[in-house]
Chains A and B, each alone.
Chain A
Amino acid sequence: MIDHRHIGYVSPAFTTQVERGRLKFFAKAIGETDPVYTDPGAARAAGHPDLPVPPTFFFCLEMDRPEPYGWFDDLGIELPKVLHGAQDFRYHRLAYAGDELTFDSRVTDIYDKKGGLLEFVVQDNRISNQRGELVVEFIRTLAIRHG
């Protein structure tokens, strides 16, 4: 069982730059065909300063931490048992290629179901840009299988 004293666990502060090349690669990976997400000219024509970060890619940018699964070790979570249970984004403004995004990530809940056969870890993330503006908040819920 994951120790509930880890509720409140804060990941190390982390900042990453959004790169055009990564956004184009991500567009390919999800089969995106809208040029707004791959062609800076099309993005500008649609009123954006550069390629926008698509709705789910903020989750991926969090994976650019030096040790993206380091907090699993700190909490005693075994990677092979982990499934993604739920994901919840709340958007405040768009982010674009070239932006520097800072992640504030903390564990806000740990609970179990089915008599402990399934454990859940909830992590809240707040992402702000280089101007200190809140861009997006997302809540990641992990399900850990014991059986």
Chain B
Amino acid sequence: MAEPAAFDYTTAAVGSAWPALSLPPVTRLTLALYCGASGDHNPLHVDQDFAREAGLGDVIAHGMLVMGYMGRTVTRFVPQTALLAFNTRFQAMTRVGDQITCTGEVIAHETDANGRPCLRLALRATDQKGEVKTQGEALIALPG
């Protein structure tokens, strides 16, 4: 998928698509690096024996890894100072081999509690089979 070099979110109309971010397949190394870097040492994400005992068959990715990918989808076009709120619901487990693509759509123009003009972005992370792993929203301040 071609990655756009630039995208002007300040002029994006309601209903317009946000540029997608395609990630490489999740590997055990991805999970090991995220375990160390995040400080989340829950063995469910890196210890296959523990994950099997827990009834999950194999390790699963940290939900926050996928949310980290969604965050990148926003901040590659938006200065982080403009990000006012960001939420996700984790809907399905991400497993080794899954290839995540993050997509988004501008769903509203609104004002926040301080009267600032904002854009509401719906975000979704899906795998190579189209299964939705995570859905969420970001509230982004607009200039002016």
- A89 close to chain B: CB less than 8 A: yes
In contact, B87 and A30 (Cβ under 8 angstroms): no
CB-CB under 8 A from A22, the residues of chain B are: 37, 39
- Contact flag A56-B68 (CB < 8 Å), given A29-B37, A94-B80: yes
In contact, B88 and A87 (Cβ under 8 angstroms): yes
- Contact flag A85-B69 (CB < 8 Å), given A63-B38, A91-B83: no
A57 to B86, CA, bound (A): 12
Q: Specify the main secondary structure of chain A where it touches its partner.
A: mixed
- B81 close to chain A: CB less than 8 A: yes
CB-CB under 8 A from B62, the residues of chain A are: 84
B39 contact from A28, A32, A55, A64, Cβ within 8 A: A64
In contact, B90 and A63 (Cβ under 8 angstroms): no
- Contact flag A80-B90 (CB < 8 Å), given A29-B38, A63-B40, A87-B67: no
Q: Which of A97-134 contact B (CB under 8 A)?
A: none
A59 to B71, CA, bound (A): 13
Question: Which of A57, A64, A80 has the most CB atoms of chain B within a 10 A radius of its CB?
Answer: A80
- B24 close to chain A: CB less than 8 A: yes
CB-CB under 8 A from B74, the residues of chain A are: 55
A54 to B44, CA, bound (A): 24
- B79 close to chain A: CB less than 8 A: yes
In contact, B33 and A28 (Cβ under 8 angstroms): yes
CB-CB under 8 A from A55, the residues of chain B are: 71, 74-75, 80, 83, 86
- B143 close to chain A: CB less than 8 A: no
A21 to B114, CA, bound (A): 35
- B8 close to chain A: CB less than 8 A: no
Closest beta carbon of chain B to A52's beta carbon, Å: 6
Closest beta carbon of chain B to A90's beta carbon, Å: 5
Residues of B within 8 A of A (CB): 23-24, 30, 33-34, 36-44, 50, 53-55, 62-65, 67-69, 71-72, 74-76, 79-81, 83-90, 93
User: What would be 10 A-B contacts, judged by CB atoms less than 8 Å apart?
Assistant: A29-B68, A54-B80, A56-B86, A61-B39, A79-B42, A80-B54, A81-B54, A86-B88, A89-B85, A91-B84
